[in-house]
């Protein structure tokens, strides 16, 4: 900082304290959105590794999701509320509060008509976007908090997994539980973020009890799947991932990886963690797992320590 002119050069910026809990990638652009304990929402440009926009939420956040057309962003709050923003200005579009416990995960349907919201009250609320986010369904059946949600490609089904490793299926949009889950074995899932299920049965190492695998995401080409764990280890497997599958392991975070997401074109994998760090991993094709991640390199922002929470190339 120049003490004469009071000008300064910005070196680092990011989330201020606590953990980064929410991460989503833009459906058609090289942008990401993050939220966390510092009560801010931040939109980042991946190629330049720069903060584009931010806004104070006034409350701690736990989850975030882009609408399929990229025009809106929904944020789940630690107090149970939901805020919907315009993605180009971060102006508030809608406010909802139907729960008192944290909203840990939310996901728009592929057709853009519905929003599924999972909370720590072990429930899933379904909202109709065309009706000003009116709640049209509630799914109850889990015995622990909801941690992952995935829609079928036709937006007719939803699968949910909970903290105690339950995997349940629901008919949409009314939220009724599917009576014969064995009949859903051939369903085409638009995303796969559940850490349990037949296609990812090999992502839990033999040395693990399962609860330390915190997040999961499948490439859009459906050739690989990435997981993060409570020790900060990132693993990449072939997809489907069968028991005994070998992983490529990477380290960068000093704490738990809370979320991992591939960009829309699978050019980068983004991870966020309890250490307030956002890491972007460049995807390199041609490995035995279908892809590999580039070796760590210095960010354009400089070698930011984890406590700074800067978006850095890893």
Query: What pLDDT, in 10s, does the model give residues 10-32?
Result: 777 889 899 999 999 999 999 99
The parent domain of residue 176 ranges over 92-313
The answer to whether 262 and 25 are in contact (CB under 8 A) is: yes
- The answer to whether position 57 is within a domain reads no
Q: Which pLDDT band holds residue 284 (cuts at 50, 70, 90)?
A: confident
CA atoms within 13 A on the CB side of 26: 16
- The answer to whether position 220 is within a domain reads yes
Q: What local confidence, expressed as pLDDT, does residue 291 receive?
A: 64
CA–CA distance from 125 to each of 1, 60, 139, 306 (Å)? 49, 20, 6, 35
Query: What pLDDT, in 10s, does the model give residues 116-135?
Result: 999 999 999 999 999 999 99
What whole-number distance in Å separates Cα of residue 73 and Cα of residue 70?
8
Query: What pLDDT, in 10s, does the model give residues 36-66?
Result: 999 999 999 999 999 999 999 999 999 999 9
Using DSSP's 3-state secondary structure scheme, residue 213 falls into strand
- The answer to whether position 252 is within a domain reads yes
How many structural domains comprise the chain?
1
Q: What local confidence, expressed as pLDDT, does residue 205 receive?
A: 78
- The answer to whether position 15 is within a domain reads no
In this predicted structure, the answer to whether residue 306 has a pLDDT above a threshold of 60 is: no
Query: What pLDDT, in 10s, does the model give residues 53-111?
Result: 999 999 999 999 999 999 999 999 999 999 999 999 999 999 999 999 999 999 999 99
| Mean pLDDT, residues 232-253 taken together | 94
The answer to whether 134 and 128 are in contact (CB under 8 A) is: yes
Largest Cα–Cα distance of the chain, in whole Å?
Answer: 72
- The answer to whether position 85 is within a domain reads no
Q: What local confidence, expressed as pLDDT, does residue 124 receive?
A: 98
The answer to whether 92 and 84 are in contact (CB under 8 A) is: yes
Identify which of 3-12, 128-137, 284-293 has the greatest average pLDDT.
128-137
Q: How is 219-264 classified by DSSP, letter by letter? A: -TTSSEEEEEETTSEEEEEESS--TT---EEEE--SS-EEEEEE-T
């Amino acid at each position: 900082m120049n003490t004469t002119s009071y000008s300064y050069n910005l070196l680092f910026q990011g989330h201020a304290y606590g953990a980064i809990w929410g991460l989503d990638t833009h459906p058609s652009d090289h942008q990401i959105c993050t939220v966390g304990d510092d009560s801010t929402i931040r939109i980042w440009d991946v190629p330049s590794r720069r903060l584009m926009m931010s806004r104070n939420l006034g409350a701690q956040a736990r989850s975030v999701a882009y609408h399929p057309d990229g025009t809106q962003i929904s944020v789940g709050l630690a107090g149970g509320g939901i805020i919907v923003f315009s993605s180009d200005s971060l102006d508030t579009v809608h406010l909802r509060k139907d729960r008192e416990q944290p909203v840990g995960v939310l996901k728009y349907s592929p057709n853009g008509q519905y929003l599924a919201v999972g909370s720590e009250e072990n429930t899933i609320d379904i909202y109709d976007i065309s009706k000003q986010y009116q709640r049209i369904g509630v799914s109850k059946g889990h015995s622990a908090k909801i941690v992952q949600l995935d829609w079928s490609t036709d937006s007719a089904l939803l699968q949910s997994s909970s903290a105690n490793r339950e995997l349940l299926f629901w008919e949409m949009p009314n939220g009724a539980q599917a009576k014969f889950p064995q009949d859903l074995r051939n369903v085409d899932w638009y995303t796969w973020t559940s850490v349990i299920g037949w296609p990812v049965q090999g992502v839990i190492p033999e040395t693990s009890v399962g609860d330390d695998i915190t997040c999961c995401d499948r490439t859009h080409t459906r050739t690989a799947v990435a997981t993060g764990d409570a020790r900060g280890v990132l693993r990449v497997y072939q997809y489907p991932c069968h028991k005994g599958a070998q992983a490529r392991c990477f380290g960068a975070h000093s704490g738990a990886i809370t979320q991992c997401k591939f960009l829309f074109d699978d050019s980068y994998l983004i991870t966020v963690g309890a250490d307030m760090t956002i890491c972007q991993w460049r995807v390199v094709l041609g490995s035995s797992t279908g892809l590999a991640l580039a070796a760590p390199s210095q960010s354009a922002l400089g070698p930011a320590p984890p406590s700074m929470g800067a978006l850095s190339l890893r």
